[in-house]
Structure 1
Amino acid sequence: MNAPVDPFSDRRRWQWLALAAGVGVLVWLLGPVLTPFVISALLAWLGDPLVRRIERSGRSRNTGVLLVFGLMSLVLVLGVLLLVPLIENQVSKFIDWLPRFGQWLTGTAVPWAEQRFKVDLAGYVDPSQLIELLKVHWQQAGGVAATVFGEVSKSGLAILGWLANLALIPVVTFYFMRDGWGMLEKVRVMLPRPLEPVVSQLTRESDEVLGGFIRGQLSVMISLGAIYAVGLTAVGVDLGILIGLVAGLVSFVPYLGAIVGLGAAVIATLVQHGDLMHLALVLGVFGLGQLLESFWLTPWLVGDKIGLHPVAVIFAIMAGGQLFGFLGVLLALPVAAVAVVVGRYAYDRYTHSRLYGADDDVVPAEVAAAVAKVPVGSEGDEYAAPPADGSQGPTPNP
């Protein structure tokens, strides 16, 4: 039996590096065109587990795709119809709340801090200037938005292009849901035989990392946002929905959502009520949210799946946005998940190389098992032909 071939040997590394650089340049050039396709692929990938579950119940894939696609469309429409009026109302309340915040800051918070810490803060805190600055920037933002909208409205082609991209997303999402497995299988069959087992293994691990983070953490974020919003509104905080939504959105970083939400809720409660009873109720809401997250939401929705470190998530999103704009933000987490898996593979290869101090370049046991996935005993033929039913293919869909 022939020894497994390492598809990432020294003579191939520069080829893969050149290929990765070429793909990066191509993505950068085609960014505006690729955006609706990337959004569609992510939506299809999020809905695929439910489609496969429906398939396992005995129904056809087309039936599962139609059911899941209809459910996702219904949730999206209901979310827009319910959230847009709520957010608009909360933003109006926030604007009306700003003068009250200025009065509380100069009349209560600053005198208390000066007395407590024996420092002079009154000369450095002028809420009127802060509010005026916010108003000026708000007006400037509105003027810029109006100018941009006016320029865009003058170009019928720009509007048609924007509407075409928007209409393209549900169509492409449907086809990705229905045919994504077949598309990936064709790519797998085209891979060089020495490369296919390792790529399939890395693809499965990347899907596990990305699925464990996005599907689980997104569910936790939505749940925490709802808990905070409902709880703060129930205890009488006027800006409870806005604070709860913001706290839920930033809760992908552990404890950041609770810290940001609790700080904003405490200030809003002190400005609105100013008593210890409401402050204790707010603390109780966030304490309950953290207990539910730690002992129920995270174990149930995320479990022991491999996730991405919060610092890696923040860096990936910022780097993607800087390099590729909105498309980079969409691709940030998938690329980060793949980078984690490939980095783990590269670490195993490095620790078994002569550069690290090993006697000879040795393929690690896990990598060798993946590479030697389908060995054939006949001389000169190291890998069997791909199975006709695609059973050896990668499991993840777009």
Structure 2
Amino acid sequence: MINVIRGWMDRYFSDEEAILFSVLLIACFGIIIWLGRPLAPVLTALVLAFMMQGGVNRLQSVGIGHTAAVLVVFLAAVSGFIGFVVGVVPAILAQVESFITELPRLVAGVQSQLLVLTERYPDYFSAEQINLLVNQVGQQVSSIGQWLLSFSLESLPNLLGVLIYLVLVPILVFFFMKDGDLLLAAIGRALPDRRPIMAQVWAEMQHQVSNYVRGKALEIAIVGAVTFLAFVMLDLRYAALLALLVGLSVIVPYIGAAVVTVPVAAVAFIQFGWGSDFFWVLGVYALIQALDGNVLVPLLFSEVVNLHPVAIIIAVLLFGGIWGFWGVFFAIPLATLAKAVVSAWPVVQRKAELVHSD
């Protein structure tokens, strides 16, 4: 057994860089797991700086200086965030408040719509079954409403944390973009001069993660905006709230679209019943999902994501269980990191074999 373990170690960890790289990976994951909460502003700023770096590079490619490009991109991002908070957030919060207030009436509307089934299909549905189902749903809805209310009340003490984010994160984002090369150079000086594995993984991840994060943010914005316009044209209630849910659903491939279908269909059913408007809403929603999956995603991620759907779902479940929302958001880049590490490791294996053959 000892010889087997020793042979495996010699096969995959004969190179000093492989050992150092393994230690660095374990240390990084450990820091994020155990110190993720206090370092959340720093990690958030890193993500945002990564997303905005593409704009800085494009401005520099047309002859604009680095500092000026950073200022332009930073001010544009801050202006966009302020516009979102002022123009979009109040509408979403108003619709959330309206939805919570009207939950009892919505449940009653569902009951009246479902009772129609007992008249049309008495052999399959009975009034007792419908009433039992509605009562159970009503209890769940009531608990959800109480949770939302308690959540909003409990979030009041966290306003200080929000203010800290609003101050620290923009400052960190600016300096990460402005002095990113200096920070990377300082980290590089602490590493060995010869690091082919790290260089290969870093080059692939720099391309994959940056393009994925920017592409995913653009996908959320496009899908959310198109969904909002479509629902407004269809006169669907809670259009802003539902559009936000649909936009965020693209974070979780495959699973998100299936989950968000439920509230979209429920609101349309309560508002329109079994009429043609209900099927128009579902048809338009299905069209948006189809265009997103077959047109928008290939355009945005054609050179980025090359993972099997099973691997994506496993990554979402695994990293989402570890890090929550951010784990879900970065599930695909983290899975890509694992793939890049695995594909870089055989280089060490072949080198080790050559050394032993000599």
Q: TM-score if structure 1 supplies the norm length?
A: 0.72
Shift of 1:46: 0.6
Alignment-mate amino acid for residue 58 of structure 2? R
Alignment-mate amino acid for residue 228 of structure 1? T
- Alpha-carbon distance in 2 for matches of 1:343, 1:175: 33
2:353 to 356, 361, 380: 361
Partner of 1:118: 124
Shift of 1:70: 0.1
Higher Rg: 1
- Alpha-carbon distance in 2 for matches of 1:218, 1:248: 10
Gaps of 5+ in 1: 1-5, 154-158, 354-359, 364-398
Asked if the contact 1:240/1:265 (under 8 Å) is kept, the reply is no
- Alpha-carbon distance in 1 for matches of 2:31, 2:256: 36
1:82 to 87, 91, 106: 87
Alignment-mate amino acid for residue 192 of structure 1? P
What is the number of equivalent residue pairs in this alignment? Answer: 343
- Alpha-carbon distance in 1 for matches of 2:188, 2:12: 17
Shift of 1:317: 5.5
Shift of 1:68: 0.3
Secondary structure at the counterpart of residue 87 of structure 1: helix
Partner of 2:137: 130
Shift of 1:178: 0.6
Secondary structure at the counterpart of residue 71 of structure 1: helix
Q: Deviations over 1:102-154 (max 9, x none)?
A: 2343333255279377355734734345334433453355346546746x79x
- Alpha-carbon distance in 2 for matches of 1:262, 1:147: 29
CA separation of 1:216/1:308 partners in 2, compared to 1, >3 Å: closer, same or farther? farther
Alignment-mate amino acid for residue 232 of structure 1? F
Shift of 1:183: 1.6
Q: TM-score if structure 2 supplies the norm length?
A: 0.79
1:35 to 40, 46, 66: 40
Partner of 1:139: 146
Secondary structure at the counterpart of residue 38 of structure 2: helix
- Alpha-carbon distance in 2 for matches of 1:29, 1:298: 34
Identity of aligned residues (%): 26
Partner of 1:172: 172
CA separation of 1:308/1:211 partners in 2, compared to 1, >3 Å: closer, same or farther? farther
Larger helix proportion, structure 1 or 2?
2
Asked if the contact 2:45/2:170 (under 8 Å) is kept, the reply is yes
Partner of 2:51: 46
Asked if the contact 1:44/1:174 (under 8 Å) is kept, the reply is yes
Find out whether 1:67 has 2:66 as its counterpart: no
Larger displacement relative to structure 2 (221-230 or 38-47): 221-230
Larger displacement relative to structure 2 (340-349 or 243-252): 340-349
Two-structure CA RMSD over aligned residues (Å)? 3.6
The within-5 A match list for 1:171-210 is: 171-195=171-195, 197-210=196-209
Shift of 1:48: 0.6
Shift of 1:10: 2.4
Asked if the contact 1:110/1:122 (under 8 Å) is kept, the reply is no
